[in-house]
Amino acid sequence: MPAEPAGVAVTDTPLRIESPGAVLAGVISAVAEPRLVVTINGATGVPASYYRPFARWLAA
C-alpha cells in the first residue's frame, strides 16, 4: 500500500462511546478538508492496527 502523499497531514483521533456494560472504541483518521467519508468496520478478533494504514491512506 502506498504511503500518504507528501504534504498531506492525516490526524488520528481516538473515539470512545460508553454505555453501561459496554464500550465502543475506534479512531477517526481525517485530513483538514475531507472530500468524502468512509466507514471501516473491522472483523471480530482482528486488531484495529490491521486497518489503520489503509484508513490513513484513504484519508490522504
Confirm whether 20 is domain-assigned.
yes
Q: What is the Cα–Cα distance from 21 to 14, expressed in whole angstroms?
A: 20
Confirm whether 6 is domain-assigned.
no
- Give the chain's length: 60
Is 51 within 8 Å of 26 (Cβ atoms)? no
Confirm whether 54 is domain-assigned.
yes
Confirm whether 3 is domain-assigned.
no
Predicted confidence at residue 14, as pLDDT, reads: 95
Rg (CA), the chain: 13
Check whether 1 has a pLDDT greater than 70. no
For the segment 8-57, what is each residue's pLDDT rounded down to a tens digit?
788 999 999 999 999 988 899 898 888 888 888 888 889 888 988 888 88
Is 58 within 8 Å of 35 (Cβ atoms)? no
3-state secondary structure of 31: coil
**Residue range of the domain that includes 42:** 11-59
Q: Into how many domains does the chain fold? A: 1
| Full-model pTM | 0.68
Confirm whether 2 is domain-assigned.
no
